[in-house]
Amino acid sequence: MADSPSSVHDVRAGLKAADYLAGESTALVAYLATKLGKPVLVEGPAGVGKTELAKALSRYLSRKLVRLQCYEGLDEAKSLYEWNYRKQLLRIQAEAEGTGWNSVHDDIFGEEFLLTRPLLEAISSPDPVVLLIDEIDKTDQEFEAMLLELLSDFQVSIPEMGTVRATSMPIVLLTSNNSRELTEALKRRCLYLWLDYPALEEELEIVKLHTPELDDTIARRLVEVVGMVRDLDLKKPPSIAESIDWARALLLLGAEDLDQDVFRETMSVIVKHRTDLDLVAERVGVRLAAGSRGGA
């Protein structure tokens, strides 16, 4: 129904209705993606809501989400298409008698024997979808090159069958944690969106959106502490998802204030490395008010 948003504002409101608070640039780029039909390359640190953006877009536009999780060694057979060779063999055997090779040959390279993988599925779907290619930086450069045809022309060439063109325009999001420099060719074809940790007020809003029951003062305190923790030089700074988890944890525990005791007990929700834990306890923990129970 909301197939074609008419303004940036629409997109923003729509994403919010889908439980995603989009910043100015996020909403704008999402809007441009729907209008221009260009893929979007989303980069940023882990856990700032890159994947979530794709999910929210699919909810907002009520499109199906097709997800391709990338990893090292991902190849065409697992991402694009593969021939269902068992079925093809059966077919050859079943018709072994009497049928000429030519007719069998024409038969077995048809759509019936094609196993569609996420990428082919995304462009051959009758209804437009949102295609999420997650963590593209985990794949090899060869895979990126393979994507180029798909991303610029929305078509896939299958040698035995010909070219499959997109029947509907998917919205494509590629995410990257920036662990590898992507090729210029790929970047050139994409709109670029850099997602960073949100400002204090925005994160507060996000936390409230997901845990509306949490007390306002605790929520604000929590977001401030998370901000402080992110300023430290940690192995893995807490993500937005972890802030939300922490808020939920505090809610479950029925914490009334975020003091040293509560912090020490629940710190592990946002900090996940042993060395980080020590550092955080030392640098952030002491800045909080002394606990009501443990204090002097």
Partner 1 sequence: MAGPRHSQDDPRPGGFAGNLVFLAEDLRAEGVSAGTSELMDAVSALAEVAWTEPDDVKEALAATLAKSPEDRKKFDLVFERFLFRASEEAAIREGVREGDASQAGDQAAGDDAAFDEADLRDAIMQAIRDGDEGAMRDLARLAISAFGRRGQGSGVIGVDVQRIRRSLGLRSDPQPDAPQGDPRREGLPREQLRRFEQLLRRELERGAIERTQQLPPSRPLADLDRGLPGSSLQDLQNVHKVVAQLKRRLKTQGQENRGRKRHAQIDVRRTMRASLQTGGVPVDLRYRPVRPRRPEIFVLCDVSTSVTSASVFFLSVLHALHDAFRKMRSFVFIERISEVTEVFERERDFKRVNEAISRDAGVADISGYTDYGRVWSEFREQVEDELHPRATVIVLGDARTNGRDPRADLFADVAAKAGRTFWLNPEPRLYWNYGDSVISAYEQYCEAFECWTTEHLEEFVKALTRPVR
Buried b (16+ CB within 10 A) or exposed e, 96-106: eeeeeeeebee
Q: Which is nearer to partner 1, 112 or 265 (CB)?
A: 112
**Of 36-44, 224-232, 237-245, 260-268: span binding partner 1 (CB under 8 A):** 36-44
Query: How does DSSP assign 61-107, residue by residue?
Result: TT-EEEEEE--TT--HHHHTEEE-HHHHHHHHHHTTTT--HHHHHHH
**180, burial (CB in 10 Å: exposed 0-12, middle 13-18, buried 19+):** middle
Give yes or no for residue 72 binding partner 1 (CB under 8 A).
yes
Task: Output the smallest distance, CB 210 to partner 1, in A.
Answer: 26
Give yes or no for residue 20 binding partner 1 (CB under 8 A).
no
Cα 233 to Cα 278: distance, rounded to the nearest angstrom:
12
Nearest alpha-carbon partner for 226 in 251, 253, 199: 199
Q: Which of 11, 15, 18, 41 binds partner 1 (CB under 8 A)?
A: 41
Task: Output the smallest distance, CB 48 to partner 1, in A.
Answer: 12
Q: Which is nearer to partner 1, 145 or 253 (CB)?
A: 145
- Where in 274-293 is the site for partner 1 (CB under 8 A)? 275
Tokens of 160: 């035995």
Give yes or no for residue 71 binding partner 1 (CB under 8 A).
no
Give yes or no for residue 148 binding partner 1 (CB under 8 A).
no
Give yes or no for residue 216 binding partner 1 (CB under 8 A).
no
In degrees, rounded to 5, the angle at the alpha carbon of residue 40 between the alpha carbons of residues 193 and 20 is: 65
Nearest alpha-carbon partner for 60 in 87, 42, 85, 33: 33
Q: Which of 10, 52, 95, 140 binds partner 1 (CB under 8 A)?
A: 140
Give yes or no for residue 28 binding partner 1 (CB under 8 A).
yes
Give yes or no for residue 68 binding partner 1 (CB under 8 A).
no
- Where in 105-134 is the site for partner 1 (CB under 8 A)? 108
197 contacts 240 by C-beta, under 8 angstroms: yes
Give yes or no for residue 103 binding partner 1 (CB under 8 A).
no
First to last CA, the chain: 61
Cα 189 to Cα 154: distance, rounded to the nearest angstrom:
12
Tokens of 87: 């079925």
Task: Output the smallest distance, CB 293 to partner 1, in A.
Answer: 30
Three-state DSSP class for residue 242: helix
Task: Output the smallest distance, CB 11 to partner 1, in A.
Answer: 11
Q: Which is nearer to partner 1, 2 or 251 (CB)?
A: 2
Give yes or no for residue 83 binding partner 1 (CB under 8 A).
yes
For binding to partner 1 (CB under 8 A), which residues are involved? 7-8, 24-25, 28-29, 31-32, 35-36, 38, 41, 43, 72, 83, 85, 88-89, 92-93, 101, 108, 137, 140, 178-181, 184, 187-188, 190-194, 233, 275
